[in-house]
Amino acid sequence: MTAAALFQSVLASLPEIVVITGACILLILGQFLRKGQEPFLVWASVAVVLIAAFVTLMLAGEVQRAYTGMFIADRFAVFFKFVFYLATVLTFLLSRRYAEIEGIGSSEYYVLLLLALSGMMIMASATDLLSVYVGVELMAICTYVLTGFLRREQRSNEAALKYVILGSVSTGIFLYGVSLVYGLTGTTQLDAMAAVVTGDPLDPGLLLAVVFIVAGLVFKVGAVPFHMWVPDVYEGAPTTITAFMSVGPKAAGFAVILRVFLNPLFATSNVWIIVAVIAVVTMALGSFVALVQDNFKRLLAYSSIAHAGFAIFGVVAGGTDGIASVMLYLLIYSFMNLGIFGIVIMMRNGDFSGEIIEDYAGFAKSRPGLALLMLLYLFSLAGIPPTAGFFAKFYVLVALVERGFVMLAVIAVLLSAVAAYFYIRIVMVIYMREPERAFDPALTPLVRATLAFTAVGTIGIGLFPAWFLRLAQHSVFGG
Amino acid sequence: MGFPLLSLIVFTPVAGAAVLMFLRRDDAVRWTALGVTILDLALCLAMLASFDTTTHEMQFIEKRPWVPALGITYALGIDGISALFVFLTALLGWICVLASWAAIDRKVKEFMVSLLVMQALMLGVFCALDLFLFYVFWEAMLIPMYLIIGVWGGEGRVYAAFKFFLYTLAGSLLFLIGIIVLYFHGGETFDILALTAQDLPFQVQSWLFFAFLIAFAVKVPMVPVHTWLPDAHVQAPTAGSIILAGVLLKMGAYGFLRFSLPMLPEASVHYSTLMLALSALAIVYGGLLALAQDDLKKLVAYSSISHMGFVTLGIFALNLRGLEGGILQMFNHGVTTGALFLFVGLIYERTHTRSMAEYGGLMKAAPVYTAFLALFVLSAMALPGTNSFVGELLVLSGGFAADLAAGATAVLGALLGAAYLLGMYRKVALGPASVGARFSIRDVNAREMAAILPLAVFVLWVGLYPKPFLDIIDASAKHLLMQVHAKGSGQ
């Protein structure tokens, strides 16, 4: 590698470097903080992300390949990075008070979130199965630790342990698939792989490799049959981390899935049948199991499984519209899901956990404004217009029908009718029950700002989707 | 593009709802809501005043790009068919506010906001000229309606609200897939007029016809997907029932008129016999169910199923008399059944019972009330001189021309209607005054009168001089029929 190429590579990956450097500086600074100076951590972390976002925007002009083809800075990556920035910044804002209440506001918390962010960014930019692996592991290890951050709570410990074990196994499977691919093609670079394999796409070795890679990646987005960890981890983890995981790492997983599955190598191997089956089963399981949940976080866990299933339908559709529909879906999902998690996080105050759905009975009576926001997020998650959630689903359906998958589209909408039931059940609890308790949400200005921002996104993208749609369509790789 | 009158009509209630959010006193909320709905009605009248009845073309067209990448536009416009329903919606709007004046005494602000948002969405449905826009309005209505039934309804409101929501949602989702399929078959546009001009293969038309049928049949509702209606009606507050019966049920029939017939003419002709049979079934079955009710609201709800059967019968008779009768009957049903629900609501506010067995001799306690009730009952029975007579006569004559058996069954249904309606009137108004002994019943007051009178005027106006109303419909109905037969009878 020449000095010029190295310089160019460093430049292309400057946002990642900014985030990692920022995380390291904060790690050191955090040791010198005195009590009562925690707000500094929040603002410093937000500043790091904003600088990274600024740098990303500066570099967003042209496609840059870096590190001898392991890394790419293209519009696709930029789009996903902004979804990650959004998720991370909002998580920071929501964490400030929550961390104080739960007693987890040490500098490590923020540093680990930043490092997870950098892992996700690497995933979005990776064009080599090995750099994918590096990103996935960086992200995953940080989230393992964050899941167990409530050290005194058994649930949290259990969740972290489960997550580590299952996560490691899935990464192992993924790596095994990568090694098979390397054995068959002599390369791990996505572009080069496709060029090498020109023969029979049904080569059993290749098929095995594909299945392993699919399994490893599908684990990260929590799709069936690798979804077992999701409810336990979502329930046990600190709620802010659950909010973060349901949006950030999931979007990162999809970024990789899109890059890998829509690579010519996989596109020719009939892998879409596997993916279609995964989509249907994932959505069905998420929707039906969510019907019987009493715990808000578990319900949102199954809801996130169902949403992952819907987004996978977009992967099945493929093509420009298919890819763009997944991207738009994830962006919109970030807004509405962080919104509803923002409410759950805010409710955690004093002895009130805010985790049981029944505890929200009559919420609309005492806090009509907040209840209205919940209503907005929930109907958006259910996909009722004019919210953004509807447009997200609509665009995926358009992509499906465009490719002739009408039956899949029908299955998708019928399952989303099932899913609508458990969202409107929560609306029922907050609007149609009499209050049994007084509510004292930890409504700090930061939480307020987060809720306002997500609400504007949820309704704004729903009413004026044109700009966001164009953005997603322009950000599709190769297009 | 001139003055955006339709946008103004559609979004005035939304603006009103936004204003309501900042009001604190319940009375201020009520008066503002009333003012907004009357303003909206005035705008509608202004629209009708300059409406050209000689053309079938869309009027007051507005068109702006919305999502250009997918060919979605924000397009509004009305023809003779939709004009009537825009007017009906605006007319019932302020009557709903009056009907909820005293009946809604908690969370008044939230209720009025839901009501106004609901009105905006309903107006939007009738004005939309873009299929995507139509669907957004159509589906968004679920949110305020769910709340209106679920929060302010009766004892079993939660169950009824869920049933309403899920039934309609499940029906509409297949409609959504149908829309997307139509989009790709029709040259990647959601423009309703452009899609109407397409010639689709019969196979595609058939599939789409059934996808649309499910959505519209649930809304109408046609037997056998009607079971949400009695629950929703009985549990909804009076204003909710008026909206449901007056406007929401019309949307299913409007869907047939706007989409199924002109876009899928071959399928519409091909399956018209099936539709006639389902309509006749609904007329008789709804009538029989109404005959067996003791609950006043349930009786009116089931009678709605029967009456909407007349509407679909007229539409799928596919001749001019049937079609015009069906459309007029939609308007009439909105006025008459809206009024009947209002009357049930008025008496329920006083006695808190809807069981007919507990009533009797109301005529002595509330003579004005019973006199007007008689008018609306007779109108629902289609007595000559009232609005429904004109509509049902046209429907029946169209129905007989299309299919003898369907026409004959419909007459039987009309007979049943007389039986349950007169029976209801006898039990409530005549006989010994049983209910008056237990409750002191006051007659209608000025506010209630203000809600009743305009409806009574329309009952008689349409009954005695229907020409202005038929004139509005005429050109559009003829054009619609021409579209159906030009393409539909090709096979």
Strand-pairing partners, residue B76, are B62, B128
Candidates B482, B126, B462; CA nearest to B325 is: B462
Separation CA A78–CA B337 (nearest Å):
57
Contact assignment for A466 to B139 by CB distance below 8 Å:
no
Residue B450 touches chain A, beta carbons under 8 Å: no
**B251: closest CA of chain A, how far (Å):** 17
Contact assignment for B146 to A417 by CB distance below 8 Å:
no
- For A466, which of B68, B147, B180 is closest by C-beta distance? B68
Instruction: Write the secondary structure of chain A as one string of H (helix), E (strand) and C (coil).
Output: CCHHHHHHHHHHCHHHHHHHHHHHHHHHHHCCCCCCCHHHHHHHHHHHHHHHHHHHHHHCCCCEEECCCCEEECHHHHHHHHHHHHHHHHHHHHHHHHHHHHCCCCHHHHHHHHHHHHHHHHHHHECEHHHHHHHHHHHHHHHHHHHCCCCCCHHHHHHHHHHHHHHHHHHHHHHHHHHHHHHHHCCCEHHHHHHHCCCCCCCHHHHHHHHHHHHHHHHHHCCCCCCCHHHHHHHHCCHHHHHHHHHHHHHHHHHHHHHHHCCHHHHCCCHHHHHHHHHHHHHHHHHHHHCCCCEHHHHHHHHHHHHHHHHHHHHHHCHHHHHHHHHHHHHHHHHHHHHHHHHHHHHCECCECCCEHHHHCCHHHHCHHHHHHHHHHHHHHHCCCCCHHHHHHHHHHHHHHHCCCHHHHHHHHHHHHHHHHHHHHHHHHHHHCCCCCCCCCCCCHHHHHHHHHHHHHHHHHHHCCHHHHHHHHHCCCCC
**B325 three-state secondary structure:** helix
Q: Give domain status of residue A234, yes or no.
A: no
State the total domains in chain B: 1
Q: Give domain status of residue B251, yes or no.
A: no
What is the β-pairing status of strands A64-66 and B72-78? unpaired
**B180: closest CA of chain A, how far (Å):** 6
pLDDT in tens, B259-297: 999 999 999 999 999 999 999 999 999 999 999 988 888
What whole-number percentage of chain B has pLDDT above 90?
49
pLDDT greater than 60 at residue B436: no
Q: Give domain status of residue B326, yes or no.
A: yes
Q: How far are the Cα atoms of A428, B108, B229, B238, B478 from residue B149, in angstroms, in the given order? A: 11, 14, 12, 10, 38
Q: How far are the Cα atoms of A107, A300, B254 from residue A450, in angstroms, in the given order? A: 21, 19, 42
* Residue A341 contacts residue A355 (beta carbons within 8 Å): no
Contact assignment for B173 to A432 by CB distance below 8 Å:
no
- Which tokens go with B160? 């009824």
Q: Give domain status of residue B11, yes or no.
A: no
**Maximum separation of any 2 CA atoms in chain A, in Å:** 71
Residue A410 touches chain B, beta carbons under 8 Å: yes
Return the percent helix, strand and coil in chain B, to nearest 5.
75, 5, 20
Domain with B302, as residue range(s), is 271-491
**A73: closest CA of chain B, how far (Å):** 25
Q: Which residues contact B268 (CB under 8 A, 6 or more apart)?
A: B209, B260, B261, B316, B318, B484, B488
Q: How far are the Cα atoms of A22, A138, A195, B207, B239 from residue A111, in angstroms, in the given order? A: 8, 13, 40, 56, 56
* Residue B49 contacts residue B99 (beta carbons within 8 Å): no
Q: Count Cβ atoms within 10 A of the Cβ of residue B351 and give its class: 0-12 exposed, 13-18 middle, 19 or more buried.
A: middle
Separation CA B461–CA B458 (nearest Å):
5
Residue A385 touches chain B, beta carbons under 8 Å: yes
Separation CA A169–CA A226 (nearest Å):
11
Which chain A residue lies closest to B207 (C-alpha atoms)?
A406
Q: How many Cβ pairs within 8 Å bridge chains A and B? A: 84
Contact assignment for B170 to A414 by CB distance below 8 Å:
yes
Q: What pLDDT does residue A191 have?
A: 81
Q: What pLDDT does residue A350 have?
A: 79
pLDDT in tens, A11-65: 999 999 999 999 999 999 988 888 777 788 899 999 999 999 999 999 887 888 8
- For A413, which of B68, B140, B176 is closest by C-beta distance? B176
* Residue A79 contacts residue A472 (beta carbons within 8 Å): yes
Residue B159 touches chain A, beta carbons under 8 Å: no
Instruction: Write the secondary structure of B195-223 as one string of H (helix), E (strand) and C (coil).
Output: HHCCCCCHHHHHHHHHHHHHHHHHHCCCC
Separation CA A72–CA A65 (nearest Å):
4
In a 13 Å sphere around the CA of A424, the CA atoms on its Cβ side amount to 27
Among A36-40, A416-420, B78-82, B209-213, whose mean pLDDT is lowest? Answer: A36-40
Q: What pLDDT does residue B444 have?
A: 83
Residue A401 touches chain B, beta carbons under 8 Å: yes
Separation CA A349–CA A443 (nearest Å):
10
pLDDT greater than 90 at residue B316: yes
Residue A466 touches chain B, beta carbons under 8 Å: yes
* Residue A266 contacts residue A260 (beta carbons within 8 Å): yes
Separation CA B329–CA A191 (nearest Å):
65
Would you mind telling me the total number of residues written for chain B in this entry? 491
Angle, in degrees to the nearest 10, between helices A368-382 and A388-402: 0
Best residue of B146, B159, B179 to probe chain A, by most A CBs closer than 10 Å? B146
Contact assignment for B139 to A398 by CB distance below 8 Å:
no
Contact assignment for A431 to B151 by CB distance below 8 Å:
yes
The backbone region for A209, taken as left when phi is positive above 0, alpha when psi lies in -120 to 50, beta otherwise, is alpha
Please state the pTM of the whole predicted model.
0.93
Contact assignment for A432 to B150 by CB distance below 8 Å:
yes
* Residue B255 contacts residue B219 (beta carbons within 8 Å): yes
Residue numbers in A near B140 (CB within 8 A): 384-386
* Residue A436 contacts residue A376 (beta carbons within 8 Å): no
* Residue B234 contacts residue B295 (beta carbons within 8 Å): yes
Best residue of B176, B179, B189 to probe chain A, by most A CBs closer than 10 Å? B176
* Burial readout B206-237 (b: 16 or more C-beta within 10 A, e: otherwise): bbbbebbbbbbbbbbbbbebbebbbbbbbbbb
Stretch (H or E) spanning B61: strand B59-67
Residue B139 touches chain A, beta carbons under 8 Å: yes
Contact assignment for A428 to B68 by CB distance below 8 Å:
no
Per the prediction, chain A carries an average pLDDT of 90
Residue numbers in B near A394 (CB within 8 A): 132, 176, 180
Q: Give domain status of residue B304, yes or no.
A: yes
Place of tokens 């825009």: B86
Q: Give domain status of residue A365, yes or no.
A: yes
Q: Give domain status of residue B359, yes or no.
A: yes
Q: What pLDDT does residue B287 have?
A: 92
* Residue A352 contacts residue A440 (beta carbons within 8 Å): yes
- For A470, which of B69, B140, B161 is closest by C-beta distance? B69
Residue B177 touches chain A, beta carbons under 8 Å: yes
* Residue A311 contacts residue A254 (beta carbons within 8 Å): yes
Q: What pLDDT does residue A478 have?
A: 60
Q: Give domain status of residue A102, yes or no.
A: no
* Residue B152 contacts residue B104 (beta carbons within 8 Å): yes
Contact assignment for B67 to A421 by CB distance below 8 Å:
no
Q: What pLDDT does residue A202 have?
A: 63
Helices (H), B361-434: 362-365, 367-380, 387-402, 404-429
The one-letter amino acid at A286:
G
Residue numbers in B near A428 (CB within 8 A): 150, 158, 161-162
Strand-pairing partners, residue A356, are A295
State the total domains in chain A: 1
Q: Give domain status of residue A141, yes or no.
A: no
Q: What pLDDT does residue A101 have?
A: 86
Q: Give domain status of residue B491, yes or no.
A: yes
Q: What pLDDT does residue A133 have?
A: 94
What whole-number percentage of chain B has pLDDT above 70?
97
Best residue of A291, A393, A423, A432 to probe chain B, by most B CBs closer than 10 Å? A432
Which chain A residue lies closest to B160 (C-alpha atoms)?
A428
Contact assignment for A470 to B139 by CB distance below 8 Å:
no
Separation CA A184–CA A174 (nearest Å):
15
Sign of CA dihedral B442, B444, B448, B452: positive
**B298 three-state secondary structure:** helix
Q: Give domain status of residue A221, yes or no.
A: no
**B158: closest CA of chain A, how far (Å):** 7
Q: Count Cβ atoms within 10 A of the Cβ of residue A208 and give its class: 0-12 exposed, 13-18 middle, 19 or more buried.
A: middle
Residue B170 touches chain A, beta carbons under 8 Å: yes
The interface residues of chain B toward chain A in range 52-71, judged by CB-CB distance below 8 A, are: 65-70
Q: Pick B440 or A301 by higher pLDDT.
A: A301
- Which tokens go with B19? 């204003």
Backbone angles phi, psi at B128, to 5 degrees: -65, 135
Q: What pLDDT does residue B439 have?
A: 66
Domain with A376, as residue range(s), is 270-479
**A416: closest CA of chain B, how far (Å):** 9
Backbone angles phi, psi at A349, to 5 degrees: -155, 135
* Residue A385 contacts residue A300 (beta carbons within 8 Å): no
Residue B133 touches chain A, beta carbons under 8 Å: no
pLDDT greater than 50 at residue B64: yes
- For B69, which of A424, A425, A469 is closest by C-beta distance? A469
Q: Give domain status of residue B419, yes or no.
A: yes
- For A406, which of B132, B140, B181 is closest by C-beta distance? B181
**Cα end-to-end span (Å), chain A:** 29
**B466: closest CA of chain A, how far (Å):** 38
Strand-pairing partners, residue B62, are B76
Stretch (H or E) spanning B473: helix B467-488
- Which tokens go with B46? 């202004």
Residues of chain A where predicted confidence (pLDDT) is lower than 50: 479
Mean pLDDT of B140-160: 89
Q: Give domain status of residue B349, yes or no.
A: yes
Q: What pLDDT does residue B491 have?
A: 44
- The conformation of residue B264, written as its DSSP 8-state character, comes to S
* Residue A140 contacts residue A74 (beta carbons within 8 Å): no
pLDDT greater than 60 at residue B1: no
The interface residues of chain B toward chain A in range 78-117, judged by CB-CB distance below 8 A, are: 107, 110
* Residue B16 contacts residue B76 (beta carbons within 8 Å): no
- For A397, which of B165, B169, B177 is closest by C-beta distance? B177
* Residue A465 contacts residue A388 (beta carbons within 8 Å): yes
Residue B167 touches chain A, beta carbons under 8 Å: no
Q: What pLDDT does residue B52 have?
A: 87
Which chain A residue lies closest to B107 (C-alpha atoms)?
A365
* Residue A475 contacts residue A77 (beta carbons within 8 Å): no
pLDDT greater than 80 at residue B488: no
pLDDT in tens, B331-385: 999 999 999 999 998 888 888 888 887 887 788 788 888 899 999 999 999 889 8
